[in-house]
Chains A and B, each alone.
Chain A
Amino acid sequence: MTALDMPPQAAGPRSAPGNGLRRRALAWLAPRPQAQAWTLLAPGTVWMLGFFLVPVIVMCAYSVMPRGEYGGVDPGFTIEAYTRFLHPVYLTILERTFVLAVATTVLSALAGYPVAYTIARSGRWKSLLLFLVVLPFWTSFLVRTFAMIFLMRDTGLINSWLIAAGLRQEPIPMLYTPFSVLAGLVYGYLPFMVLPIYASLEKLDPALLEAAEVLGARPAARFRRVTLPLSAPGLIAGCLLVFIPSLGSYLTSDLLGGAKELLIGNLVQNQFSTARNWPFGSAASFILMIVVLAAVLVYLRLRPPDTVRGW
């Protein structure tokens, strides 16, 4: 006591902070952890229920109602919108979307892994290279898609240069082909592949590679038996992060694909703009959502338990 020269009242009961109302509210909340949590959760939860869950439910309801003449729906119940999907035209669209999403994922993985590997081992270049990967991630997707048009259209930069250089008489048709959509998707989603792979390679303890070396593994074996299995969680996460938006992509095929390369996303949009078949559009949209959530569930089953969450 003497050392700190305490005034005598300092040892008495502590003056309670805050005003009466605040004190009473806190005293009421203190023994009620559920109430505390839901006080914080309430506003955001109400918003998300009202403007995410409820819309999805309404959309789901619309998908089983008869089509209204000028858009919208009429009262009643029908599963016509779903049976319509069995028509070859729509099955083709489903198949095309799926194939394209798989191709995008595979190409992104083939390109993204070496890039992520190099960045993880690039020493003092690391932060710069990482910034170069992150930057497109944040750049407007619309602007980047437009940039692809600027390069690929018949009067675009690539074709003009080819012709100017005398390599071609006619422009190579690149835009509005399956190739341009695939290129656009890979270009658009490659950062989603690189970042999680990089994150898992970064965590890899270099001592493990040295241990493999001491145990007699040559570089190729070391990669195959140590690096690759340990970075598999990142690779799988990257594949999911590319596969999902590719499945639901709309803008890329809309701008780079033209009418022939219709994907589910465009089919949905058409039903609400030109075709005015809301039940069918809602059904297509609902199916798309289910497929995406199924892909996530498959991922959660595949994922080893110790994977870090998020990206």
Chain B
Amino acid sequence: MGASGIGKLPRWLVAFTAVCLFLMHLPVLVLIVFSFNASKFAVTWTGFTLAWYRRLLERDDILHALQASLIVGITATAIAVTLGTLIALALARHRFRGRTIYEGMMYVPIVTPEIVTGISLLVLFVFLRMPLGLATIIIAHVAFCVPFVVVVVVARLAGMDENLEEAAMTLGADEVTTFFRVTLPLLWPGILSAALLSFILSFDDFVITSLVAGSGSSTLPLVIYSMVRRNIEPSINAISALIVVATSVLLYVSDRMSRRNEPSHA
């Protein structure tokens, strides 16, 4: 674009945008800064400390919840990515009856409010007399992650040249070999970003998890929620800060990776 550049925009517009972006980040930034605040009451700065982070390591409930969250996140992501990628391959590469309707239906779980998904799963699990716990959490997480995986992988497949797979077949590779030697290597960045999205959705989920977790198992968001509800102390700031930083790092790394593997559209 020849006539672009922030300098050509009206001043008020740039200022307004700056304020909006600042406000979008202010609360979390404040949270992170005050996670290093020595005061327990957390509103006035009384000095730098790492005490709240050290305190996290002493709390078994947080460590257990972290472990549960990781187990759930990794398992649910592995299952959701496998199921979702297979669906995406069928949608993008095969003609079958009802394809358009199927693709449309994939968006229904995405737009359905979490509270509805959670309640309906709770009702089902109770109806089937399934004990609530890690297993039900994983089942629920896979169910809400699969459609997101499908959307991301279908987008990647749509940008991928179908001739590449046909070329492999004229060179003597059968469908299975073509998949492993051509489709999968080119699809990796898409699968990785789908996995990242799926993991973060799972790791951050509170509403659905709180309904299907039962009393025995707690993931990290459940523990944070009860801490927020009961008494606000700076270790929540510390755990929040860690989550935000970890997410940003993951996001940055995946962004770099997918950029490096961008397929050429030549």
Contacts and interface: CB of A to CB of B under 8 A. Distances in A.
Interface of A: 14, 17-18, 22-23, 26, 29, 33-34, 36-38, 40-41, 43-45, 47-48, 51-52, 54-56, 58-59, 62, 72, 111, 114-115, 117-119, 121-125, 129, 132-136, 138-144, 146-151, 153, 155-157, 160, 164, 187, 190-191, 206, 209-210, 244-245, 247-251, 255, 265, 268-269, 272, 278, 281-282, 285-286, 288-289, 292-293, 296, 310
What is the interface residue range for chain B against chain A? 35 or more
| Max chain B C-beta neighbours (<10 A), residue from A56, A72, A272 | A56
Nearest to B90: A40
Which DSSP category, helix, strand, loop or mixed, fits chain A's interface?
helix
B6 A125 contact: yes
Contact of B27 (A29, A45, A124, A148): A148
A292 B112 CA distance: 7
Nearest to A54: B124
B86 A44 contact: yes
Given A157-B30, A206-B2, A41 B123 contact: no
Contacts of A142: 204, 206, 221, 224-225, 228
B51 interface: no
Contacts of A125: 6
A244 to B, nearest CB: 5
Nearest to B103: A309
B113 interface: yes
A37 B119 contact: no
A23 B16 CA distance: 63
B94 A33 contact: yes
A170 B35 CA distance: 26
A147 B26 CA distance: 9
Given A43-B86, A141-B204, A285 B120 contact: yes
Given A138-B200, A144-B27, A150-B232, A285 B247 contact: no
Closest 9 CB pairs of A and B: A248-B113, A147-B27, A44-B83, A37-B96, A55-B120, A40-B90, A37-B94, A55-B124, A118-B17
A41 B155 CA distance: 17
A142 B147 CA distance: 22
B65 to A, nearest CB: 13
A156 B122 CA distance: 36
B172 interface: yes
Contact of B123 (A59, A134, A144, A293): A59
A140 B86 contact: no
Contacts of B70: none
Nearest to A137: B251
B9 A121 contact: yes
Nearest to B237: A150
A151 to B, nearest CB: 5
